[in-house]
Structure 1
């Protein structure tokens, strides 16, 4: 059984009505918390293992959640979870890959294909599927209030994804409220109240999120301060609005708002024993760069600049097991949302379209210099950490200014956008096409952003980690980089290469993830071992 807190990008969580928490990783966990947020018990439920197990909150009596997993044959298997420590019930095996789920009436669940091309209705009583009538082409179902017959949908209109509301009647028209679609930030619909009048949303601005309630009748909004980040799962019933909240010092925790129409803030987040973090705005070469900070940047024994994957992603003020582990070892952490990150407007996000390793690399170098200047005299220079795109960016930063960093630990890097396009899966090629990842930057200082060409500039101690079953970035990229570094002949290059058997894109949480995590933390704390 894996210990609590071993979460990653593939995890999903659903609160149960009795205050417990169902977690999906490579299987399902039932977490029973104490009143103060600590864990009383963790039960591993018997579901076939594999990545991308996803949960949908239950909408019928006796069903706390449904678990979805796509098999290697391209079918989606569905299990029913009661919310108790008992074996889940397998209820359907559906051809195709489906994600999400919206409960309708009569035990019917509307699910969308992974490519968004179609929405079908799954009948849990017999495992059959049929089309969902009444939606316009390109309109996707997001939420429903079954008894009221209210549906929340999304559709691209004039190139912008807009939220709409409609009745379930076949001839009903969808309305796209102006006030709802004018909300600033990244908006994620969470739940409809049973009457179908009020819509709960998560709105993320920068590293924080808030809960927003929208009145479909009065066309009005009000906010509930969450004191952390809301996970994109929720349930609204007669007992109130059930949310899952997290913060840097708070693992995902269910919270119930009994009367959300009058509440102004979520309560119950006390001391948990985990390290706190704060946000800080750094001055960057192209404008402010917000970052999440753990520890004392000036006096800590070490400070690491941690770069997120993506590139269309961002760090949020949520629980991160790696950062907690680093903080516990006295390593200060700065996790920036440099240009290219989401949550700061289109200009910030699009600054690296067609220019990977351009504006974002300039931000990282500037932050590294800032951290070096803030360190007390004689202390260790900043370190670098990155995963996926963050690993690529960290290695570019190490090559651009080798003397600025003391060492770097990277997980699943790729060699260049062009090389990844040649070797990566179709989903990655689509992202590269959309973001201009194949376009090259060439300048007088660094030249093209190809790590094989830049290998002779990587003169710092380096830990290179890659899962040998990575489905996103082929392990061959790390193997080729290791071979190229071995041929550079630099005596001051100390390369530690760790290829993790059986691990996927996130070897820190796959299989023997705790052992990998310990090696990474030890490398950042003391450097390479003989």
Structure 2
């Protein structure tokens, strides 16, 4: 059994965001190769990547978009999620701030630049709480103006090739997204799908005619589909999937479409040859994670070259190129840890089990090398509209090297399994989802190689809420627990939610009666497992008072705990040093109590 220190598994760059230049020659991306997330660019015909920014301490880059003569990108400071816009003209000059207000969010899309290059569409708060309007920023004189406002949460999508029309998404809830079209020549905003309709429409690229565009939708169906929509109201289904669609891209000629298709707990690259209506052979591209639910994009050049991120259980996330049917993808830059080799990493098993009500659930099961029996960790993902996939998980691989198994189920409410599956947790946080987590624990403990008396519960964000719920409902079962950024008080979660997603959150969590009855804070005295609590000091979603209230209860009831407060982080870990600090503490916690 290999015994690398924890740092070796984390010794790789992390990536986020992707943008392709209009001429298809250059890729821009965000990477923390030097410890923080900076902006890089790389020519696709070869040559080393070049770092474009030297962001200050506690500042990180986010989304990207090529504009005329430069690159627009967003930055956040210390996890506050108040994304600001900056413009980088060239590598010799410092970025210029484009933000109109430093106390609000500014959101952009990688295809949000006008084809002329001088205008950039972005979203920023409107007049009412929770309202986001769409603005146009002139990158020459740095003035901006509001161009779309409906009183709802709007996000800019993609421009038509002639620059006349802009697709805009209107988010009523996480599972209700409508589409509007802005005619920039007249200022007229037109709905192309009904408002508050029980469906999701995700805007994609435009076809070369400038009057039709690609969307991903689940309207009237169990799973996702690609649809061509026209300004005149025409709709044509181009391809249907067996799961959700996490992302898509299309070449400028409208001949080839790349899809990040969710299939049984993993994402796979699917490439559709539109004229022939057939899928190309992408079997040489491993399954894993290609898109973080519309936060990463896929791009297709006119020569068919497809660009995307890929993370698998044996390869960290990195930008990839796929050239032709039957060929494996080519990495743009090495991403493997410098010391850990591929054959040392364990590939998980895709397993299925039944919930209490007979619902079929899926999960990823990692077994250490050896005969066992082994202690095991049950991990619950955030969201709830998210999923665990077989991507690179450095902490998981470290635990496996220490003889600790790992099971990551996708309980009801997870993304990737269709609309009805995702909605099963709607207004039922702490109900059937917790029952699924407990069922997953029983399944894990029933495995012959798992030592059932040495099992731990671990969750992040919403998954932290589920983990704490299991810990108080089954105190005799769990030997240890870890809560990463998890809410413990649902009433407080809604009361203090950021205005930009408070409405959608309130519509999905539960009834007023359920909020207090299902909050783990009010049952903290029943938690007996030693608990590690991790909190970002600047977390705008799960405020610091949530974790402090839990810690006060644990102290009052003499429950063993460790409280780790990250001073420069929000709802997650942007700094590489923070990740190491958190997972070193988590490793100590698990090894102490699972091997006691």
Tell me whether the two structures share a fold, i.e. TM-score over 0.5: yes
Q: 2 CA distance for matches of 1:338 and 1:370? A: 13
Matches within 5 A, 1:375-454: 375-376=448-449, 380-427=453-500, 429-441=502-514, 448-454=517-523
Write the deviation string for residues 323-353 of structure 1: whole angstroms up to 9, x where unpaired.
2333343322111111121111233222222
TM-score normalised over the length of structure 2: 0.72
User: How many residue pairs get matched?
Assistant: 502
SS at match of 2:572: coil
Cα deviation for residue 43 of structure 1 reads 5.8
Alignment partner, residue 90 of structure 1: 95
Alignment partner, residue 162 of structure 1: 201
Residue 105 in 1 paired to residue 115 in 2?
A: yes
Matches within 5 A, 1:145-184: 146=161, 155=179, 156-157=193-194, 158-162=197-201, 165=206, 167-168=209-210, 173=231, 177-180=235-238, 182-184=240-242
Matches within 5 A, 1:433-512: 433-441=506-514, 448-489=517-558, 493-507=559-573, 509=575, 512=578
Distance 1:30 1:169, change over 3 A: closer
Alignment partner, residue 237 of structure 1: 301
Cα deviation for residue 28 of structure 1 reads 0.5
Alignment partner, residue 279 of structure 2: 222
Alignment partner, residue 248 of structure 1: 313
Distance 1:76 1:506, change over 3 A: closer
Q: 1 CA distance for matches of 2:451 and 2:134? A: 61
Residue 12 in 1 paired to residue 74 in 2?
A: no
Q: Is the 8 A contact 1:27 1:50 kept in 2?
A: no
SS at match of 1:310: coil
Alignment partner, residue 586 of structure 2: 520
Q: 2 CA distance for matches of 1:7 and 1:122? A: 30
Distance 1:317 1:470, change over 3 A: same
SS at match of 1:178: strand
Q: Is the 8 A contact 2:373 2:450 kept in 1?
A: no
Q: 2 CA distance for matches of 1:139 and 1:508? A: 26
Distance 1:81 1:238, change over 3 A: farther
Q: 2 CA distance for matches of 1:473 and 1:201? A: 33
- One of 40, 54, 64 as aligned partner of 2:62: 54
Residue 267 in 1 paired to residue 329 in 2?
A: yes
SS at match of 2:290: strand
Cα deviation for residue 32 of structure 1 reads 8.8
Q: Is the 8 A contact 1:162 1:181 kept in 2?
A: no
- One of 154, 157, 160 as aligned partner of 1:142: 157
Distance 1:191 1:104, change over 3 A: farther
User: Gaps (5+ residues) in structure 2?
Assistant: 1-7, 126-130, 170-178, 180-192, 213-229
Q: Is the 8 A contact 1:139 1:153 kept in 2?
A: yes
Alignment partner, residue 357 of structure 1: 430
SS at match of 2:267: strand
SS at match of 2:435: helix
Cα deviation for residue 291 of structure 1 reads 1.0
Residue 285 in 1 paired to residue 356 in 2?
A: yes
Q: 2 CA distance for matches of 1:99 and 1:395? A: 35
Q: 2 CA distance for matches of 1:282 and 1:120? A: 48
Distance 1:199 1:371, change over 3 A: closer
Cα deviation for residue 369 of structure 1 reads 1.5
Q: Is the 8 A contact 1:145 1:193 kept in 2?
A: no
- One of 74, 79, 82 as aligned partner of 1:68: 74
Q: 2 CA distance for matches of 1:73 and 1:324? A: 30
Q: Is the 8 A contact 1:293 1:333 kept in 2?
A: yes
Write the deviation string for residues 174-208 of structure 1: whole angstroms up to 9, x where unpaired.
55533147545322453331324433332223422
User: Gaps (5+ residues) in structure 1?
Assistant: 34-39
SS at match of 1:312: coil
Q: Is the 8 A contact 1:46 1:88 kept in 2?
A: no
Q: 2 CA distance for matches of 1:148 and 1:51? A: 33
Cα deviation for residue 305 of structure 1 reads 0.4
Alignment partner, residue 77 of structure 1: 85
Report the aligned-residue RMSD: 4.2
TM-score normalised over the length of structure 1: 0.79
Distance 1:180 1:150, change over 3 A: farther
Q: Is the 8 A contact 2:298 2:308 kept in 1?
A: yes
Matches within 5 A, 1:338-377: 338-376=411-449
